[in-house]
Amino acid sequence: MNGSGTPGLKDAKLNAAISKVAVELKAAGSAGLVVSGSNDKNVQVIVNAINNALGANGSTIKWNQSSNYRQGIDSEMADLVAMMESGQVGTLMIYGANPVYTWNESDRFKNALKKVRVTVSFNEKMDETTELCEYVIPSHHYLESWGDAEPKSGVICFQQPTIYPLFKTRPFQTSLLRWSGSLQDYETYFREYWNGKLGGEDAFNKVLQDGVKEEASTTGGGGYGGGGLTEATTAITSKTTSGDEIVLYQKVSLGTGSQANNPWLQELPDPISKATWDNYAMISIKKAEELGIKLNNDYEYYPEKPVVEIAVGNKKIELPVLVIPGMNANTIAIAVGYGRNEAFGVASSGVGKNVYNLATYNGSTLDNYVTGAKVTNLHTKYKIAQPQKHNSYENRKEVVRETTLASFKAAPDVIPEWRKELEEAFYAHSRNDYRSNATLYPDPDTRMQEIRWGMTIDMNSCYGCGACVVACHAENNVPVVGKREVLRYHDMHWLRVDRYFVTNEENPDDLKTVVFQLMLCQHCDNAPCENVCPVAATNHSQEGINQMAYNRCIGTRYCANNCPYKVRRFNWADYTGADSFPNNRDQQLVGKLDSVVEQMNDDLTRMVLNPDVTVRSRGVMEKCSFCVQKIQLAKLDAKKENRMLVDGDAKTACQMACSADAIVFGNMHDPKSKVSMMHVENPKRSFKVIEQLHTLPNITYFAKLRNTNEMDPNWTEDNHPEKVHEGNVEEGHTVDTAGHSPVKPGGQTQDH
């Protein structure tokens, strides 16, 4: 930013990238902003200096409004442990923390805890720390609790219970009030405090109804002094490293591990590795070669993955490895949140390894990385459950459309021209009415009257978090099957997030992007599944929904075989306890199931089931229903209000959960609906998956554009449907004749 470059940086490509970013930041000026997730104070000092050089202070950075979350101070925790060791702590009360599990020196904390006379845990679950406390007084679950928060200065949020307490718990605040001599419970105290502060009960109820109250921030203004920049720069540049670097990270599903006993999260595939029910060491292609790991078809196809030993000082841990393109050669990434104690819960017990102890304390903060690690190939195997194995779309433009912004600007009509050629290639042989003539059914356009449900998915917005998958689980009573069944590809997710690496053909570590494509039932107007079902269990509604009548299904699975999108799920066992035949619960007959399947069927856990959706028994096929129960509810609400159904009344669970607004659902017969407008506003990017099959999907995708100036030669190549429908090598598929590595590219992307 100051024009001095990055001295000492030997990686020419990285140096060029840094220079390019610096130019763009300078051009942005005060509208620019640099943020860092590092816990290293020196890094944050340098980030502050960059923002000051941009002029961001007072523009994109507001000194009078502070962010109030993640306020823990590592040095104070270290001081507490030292005080406990020296006997200076007489009583220790713990709420919402689990240092025996998360602190890097957990053994030291355990020993120090023994020297504290009174130890009290208010934690809801019997976690690693709670097990060692003398008194356990569990607080309410957060959905049973009153509370308040100020996530940023001037923004007050209220929390109120959504359910009556299920167990004999009480708020930890009530305990503190009673022990301090007050006879009030926390709810009464909470109401009286805010009634007084807000000016009465009516004002309190107004904020409670709104959920949020914004007021002028009282935080004092700050400024940038520039102190410590030289020291911070010296501290970072003078670091010398040897061996490999271990980086600890939080998975998008499990986070810190506080919700590790939630089977929905354990069974959610990781966005990058696509693995479930385990943590592992993610390594680079170069590191795999150093360790003698053969990246052949066996590595990709079979669940058995190589196991390595990672040694950091006197600490050692054994983990399976997954090879990920684009990683730094000597960086190994491991997720925290695993390796929980048995008492914490059935779902988390015995799953993965705890690696929090690999973090290091630098005297002021915890570093979630450590250098000098040694990695050894143990030449043993461990099974990793991955619902998706193939890592490349291999330039199959019929499935995935993605390119660079520069290429799209240069040739914006690639997709429309392809569709036009597709029509000319097929329609000329069908009396110019291929849409209606190439189907056994009446013309789909005339089958639907006032309503035609459809969906758009913007691949440019989706970042693969998987919130839609979990929301679908919760809304539609999708069963959890456990690791054993996922290993057999019996996972039951109604929708999945397919992930594809886009890499350089010559250098698979030159990762261009990662493409996420949400895949669910396409609700085809010319659905291949419907005409092969011998009992009409799957059929088409007049509103464009591909329906499933569960009580008609006899489990032939013809529909799944005939579905080109592979989005139907079959109940190989009675995962939900819905079957009235006891033999279907006999694991000697149907195969052994993980204990988590039974956990999901106990009286307490079954309370999560949605009463509006039936549970399915063994031998039944199921798949996305466009949340038909929510559609019916929207219709009933409109009927009760004596009005027509309007756009936004009916929303699917996946749509509501998507924080990126990548999913839009609605009535495509309404020209003013958002889903219709998405088609109108994105004609150059819209495509259907394998639309040359003439399945006529009611889901439209918008192509992903990488925000780079790089030109993509594949964007305009082999864009001819007359080649596509012949079903030969000319489809644009890369043929693997040499048994290439699963992490080496074939054509545009990673080969198999």
CATH assignment at residue 733: 3.30.70.20
Which residues have CB under 8 Å from 177's CB, separation 6+?
184, 185, 186, 189
3-class SS of residue 499: strand
Q: Tell me whether residue 398 is exposed, middle or buried, using C-beta atoms within 10 angstroms of its C-beta: 0 to 12, 13 to 18, 19 or more.
A: buried
**Angstrom distance (rounded) from CA 475 to CA 657:** 11
Residues 250 and 314 in one domain: yes
Q: pLDDT tens digit string along 103-161?
A: 999 999 999 999 999 999 999 999 999 999 999 999 999 999 999 999 888 899 999 99
Task: Calculate mean pLDDT across residues 24-51.
Answer: 88
Q: pLDDT tens digit string along 466-486?
A: 999 999 999 999 999 999 999
Residue 396 lies in a domain: no
Residues 178 and 251 in one domain: no
Least confident of 314-323, 583-592, 675-684: 583-592
Residues 268 and 189 in one domain: no
Residues 570 and 663 in one domain: yes
Q: Among all chains, which residue has been given the structure tokens 């993610």?
A: 282
Residue 89 lies in a domain: yes
**Angstrom distance (rounded) from CA 223 to CA 477:** 52
* Strands of 78-209, DSSP E: 91-94, 118-121, 135-136, 147-152, 155-159
Residue 389 lies in a domain: no
Let me know: does 422 contact 691? Beta carbons within 8 Å: yes
- The pLDDT score that the predictor gives to residue 39 is 83
Residues 259 and 163 in one domain: no
The DSSP letter of residue 167 is S
**Angstrom distance (rounded) from CA 744 to CA 509:** 8
Residue 414 lies in a domain: yes
Q: Name the helix (H) or strand (E) containing 321.
A: strand 315-323
Least confident of 6-10, 35-39, 283-287: 6-10
Instruction: Tell whether the torsion through CA atoms of 93, 98, 100 and 102 is positive or negative.
Output: negative
CATH assignment at residue 296: 2.40.40.20
Residue 710 lies in a domain: yes
- The pLDDT score that the predictor gives to residue 547 is 92
Domain boundary among the residues 9, 35, 63 is at: 63
Residues 30 and 106 in one domain: no
The DSSP letter of residue 221 is P
Residue 306 lies in a domain: yes
- Distance, first Cα to last Cα, the chain: 42
- The pLDDT score that the predictor gives to residue 725 is 42
Give this prediction's pTM: 0.87
3-class SS of residue 348: coil
Backbone angles phi, psi at 287, to 5 degrees: -65, -40
3-class SS of residue 18: helix
Q: What is the mean pLDDT of the chain?
A: 86
Least confident of 37-46, 369-378, 512-521: 37-46
3-state helix, strand, coil in the chain (%, to 5): 30, 20, 50
Residues 515 and 648 in one domain: yes
Residues 638 and 524 in one domain: yes
The DSSP letter of residue 31 is G
User: What is the number of H-type helices and E-type strands within the chain?
Assistant: 25, 28
Q: pLDDT tens digit string along 569-581?
A: 999 888 887 766 7
Q: pLDDT tens digit string along 182-209?
A: 999 999 999 999 999 998 999 999 999 9
β pairing state of 546-548 and 538-540: antiparallel
Domain boundary among the residues 37, 63, 89 is at: 63
Q: pLDDT tens digit string along 278-309?
A: 999 999 999 999 999 988 888 888 899 999 99
Q: pLDDT tens digit string along 161-188?
A: 999 999 999 999 999 999 999 999 999 9
β pairing state of 511-519 and 496-503: antiparallel
Domain boundary among the residues 43, 63, 83 is at: 63
3-class SS of residue 319: strand
Overall domain count for the chain: 4
Residues 26 and 106 in one domain: no
- The pLDDT score that the predictor gives to residue 752 is 30
Confidence grade of residue 749 (pLDDT, cut at 50, 70, 90)? very low
Of 312, 314, 420, the C-alpha closest to 358 is: 312
Q: pLDDT tens digit string along 429-461?
A: 666 666 666 666 666 566 566 889 999 999 999
Confidence grade of residue 515 (pLDDT, cut at 50, 70, 90)? very high
Q: pLDDT tens digit string along 586-617?
A: 666 667 788 888 887 888 888 889 999 998 88
Residues 45 and 89 in one domain: no
Let me know: does 174 contact 146? Beta carbons within 8 Å: no
The DSSP letter of residue 733 is P
Q: Which residues pair with 599 in a beta bridge?
A: none
Residue 660 has pLDDT above 60, yes or no: yes
The DSSP letter of residue 61 is B
**Boundaries of domain holding 284:** 242-383
Residues 282 and 337 in one domain: yes
Q: pLDDT tens digit string along 208-240?
A: 998 898 887 665 556 777 778 888 888 887 776
Residue 282 lies in a domain: yes
The DSSP letter of residue 127 is -
Residue 101 has pLDDT above 60, yes or no: yes
Report the half-sphere exposure of 573 (CA within 13 A, side-chain side): 24
Residue 100 has pLDDT above 70, yes or no: yes
The DSSP letter of residue 491 is -
Portion of the chain with pLDDT greater than 70, in percent: 88
- The pLDDT score that the predictor gives to residue 397 is 83
Of 657, 447, 419, 470, the C-alpha closest to 546 is: 447
Let me know: does 742 contact 300? Beta carbons within 8 Å: yes
Residues 23 and 107 in one domain: no
- The pLDDT score that the predictor gives to residue 728 is 39
Residue 390 lies in a domain: no
Residue 494 has pLDDT above 80, yes or no: yes
Backbone angles phi, psi at 214, to 5 degrees: -105, 135
- The pLDDT score that the predictor gives to residue 748 is 41
* Strands of 115-177, DSSP E: 118-121, 135-136, 147-152, 155-159
Of 696, 154, 711, the C-alpha closest to 411 is: 711
Task: Calculate mean pLDDT across residues 366-384.
Answer: 91
Measure the CA dihedral 370/375/378/379, to 10°: 120
CATH assignment at residue 196: 3.40.50.740
- The pLDDT score that the predictor gives to residue 436 is 66
Chain CA centroid to CA 127, Å: 25
Let me know: does 459 contact 686? Beta carbons within 8 Å: no
- The pLDDT score that the predictor gives to residue 219 is 57
Q: Which residues pair with 540 in a beta bridge?
A: 546
